C-alpha cells in the first residue's frame, strides 16, 4: 500500500493530536506532534530566564538555538513518542498553562520556526507520517496527499483542555484556559511568519459535536481514498 503524508492543522485544543495518534497507530505511521517542539523550545527559554511575564529576550533565544536539541522517543507503555529537550524527557513539563501562555510568542520567531520546520521535514521525508500543528499543510508539507483543518468552538476547545489539565492534577480556572486558547489563536493566526490559515485544498473538519470514534472513522475514509 502507498504511504502518504497526512497534515493536520487547526486551532488550539481541537483534538488534533488525539485523532492523529490514533490514526498513526492504525496505519503504522510515525506521529509527529509539532506543537510539542515549540513547547519544548519555550520551556528551554523559561528555564534559562529568557522569557517570563516581564521579558522576552528574543536575541538571546536566537543565539541559544544551536544549544537546543529536540527529539522524540517512543514510550511503549503509553503507545506514543514523548518529547525530549537536550535528552531530558519534558513531556509533562511542556503541557502546563504557563508554557501555553508563552509558546505563541516563541513560535512567532522566524529563526525558531526555521530550525523546527527543517527538523519536521526531515522526520517526514520518507512519508508514512501523520503530523499535526499550525503550518503543516501550508509550509512544512505543502505537497501532503491529505490535509485536514480541524475546528471547534473556543468554548468546546477550552473545556477539553481544562478537563485534561484537571485530570493531570493542575490547579487552574476554566476562564484562564479559555483566555489562553483565544490568545494563542489570535497570535497564531496573525503572526507574519507562517500564520495559521487553512490550506486551499485542506478539508475542514468541525468536531464540536463529534465523538472521537466518529472523527476517526470519517478521517480513515478520507485516508483510504488516497492510499
Ligand atoms: O499544538 P499545541 O497547542 O501544543 O501548540 C502549541 C503552540 O505551538 C501553538 O499555539 C502555536 O503557537 C505553536 N505551533 C506553531 N506551529 C506548529 C505547531 C505549534 O506555531 N506547527
ipTM rounded to 2 decimals:
0.99
Which residue from 226, 225, 223 is spatially nearest to 26, judged by alpha carbons?
Answer: 223
User: Mean pLDDT throughout 178-198?
Assistant: 97
Q: Is 11 in the pocket of ligand 1 (CB under 6 A)?
A: no
Write the CB contacts of 77 (distance below 8 Å, at least 6 apart in sequence). Answer: none
pLDDT in tens, 122-151: 999 999 999 999 999 999 999 999 999 999
* Rg of the chain taking only CA atoms, in angstroms: 17
Specify the residue with its C-alpha closest to ligand 1, atom 3.
12
User: Mean pLDDT throughout 185-197?
Assistant: 97
Residue 1 confidence (pLDDT): 83
Contact status, residue 181 vs residue 158, Cβ threshold 8 Å:
yes
128 among the known binding-site residues? no
Q: Which atom of ligand 1 is nearest the CA belonging to 13?
A: 3
Contact status, residue 194 vs residue 113, Cβ threshold 8 Å:
yes
Mutate to test the pocket of ligand 1, among 8, 10, 34 (most ligand atoms within 8 A of CB): 34
Specify the residue with its C-alpha closest to ligand 1, atom 11.
104
Quickly state the pLDDT bin for 89 (edges 50, 70, 90). Answer: very high
Quickly state the pLDDT bin for 49 (edges 50, 70, 90). Answer: very high
Residue 33 confidence (pLDDT): 98
Q: Is 43 in the pocket of ligand 1 (CB under 6 A)?
A: no
Quickly state the pLDDT bin for 36 (edges 50, 70, 90). Answer: very high
Q: 486551499: which residue's cell? A: 200
User: Mean pLDDT throughout 81-98?
Assistant: 97
Residue 73 confidence (pLDDT): 97
Strands 80-85 and 88-89: antiparallel
Residue 131 confidence (pLDDT): 98
Q: Is 160 in the pocket of ligand 1 (CB under 6 A)?
A: no
> At residue 56, does pLDDT exceed 90?
yes
The overall average pLDDT reported for the chain is 96
Q: 507574519: which residue's cell? A: 192
Residue 214 confidence (pLDDT): 95
Q: Model pTM greater than 0.80?
A: yes
Amino acid at each position: 500500500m502507498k504511504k502518504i503524508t497526512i497534515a493536520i492543522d487547526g486551532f488550539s485544543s481541537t483534538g488534533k493530536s488525539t485523532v492523529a495518534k490514533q490514526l498513526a497507530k492504525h496505519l503504522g505511521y510515525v506521529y509527529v506532534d509539532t506543537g510539542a517542539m515549540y513547547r519544548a523550545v519555550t520551556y528551554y527559554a523559561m528555564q534559562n530566564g529568557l522569557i517570563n511575564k516581564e521579558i522576552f529576550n528574543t536575541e538571546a533565544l536566537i543565539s541559544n538555538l544551536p544549544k537546543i536539541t529536540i527529539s522524540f522517543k517512543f514510550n511503549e507503555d503509553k503507545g506514543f513518542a514523548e518529547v525530549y529537550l537536550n535528552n531530558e524527557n519534558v513531556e509533562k513539563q511542556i503541557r502546563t498553562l504557563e508554557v501555553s501562555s508563552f509558546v505563541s510568542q516563541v513560535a512567532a520567531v522566524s529563526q525558531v520556526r526555521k530550525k523546527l520546520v527543517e527538523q519536521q521535514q526531515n522526520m517526514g521525508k520518507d512519508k508514512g507520517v501523520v503530523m499535526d500543528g499550525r503550518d503543516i499543510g501550508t509550509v512544512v508539507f505543502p505537497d501532503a496527499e491529505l490535509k485536514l483543518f480541524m475546528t471547534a468552538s473556543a468554548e468546546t476547545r477550552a473545556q477539553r483542555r481544562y478537563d485534561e489539565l484537571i485530570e493531570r492534577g493542575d490547579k487552574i480556572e476554566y476562564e484562564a484556559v479559555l483566555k489562553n486558547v483565544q490568545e494563542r489563536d489570535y497570535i497564531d493566526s496573525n503572526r507574519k511568519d507562517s500564520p495559521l490559515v487553512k490550506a486551499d485544498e485542506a478539508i475542514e473538519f468541525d468536531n464540536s459535536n463529534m465523538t472521537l470514534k466518529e472523527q476517526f472513522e470519517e478521517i480513515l475514509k478520507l485516508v483510504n481514498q488516497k492510499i
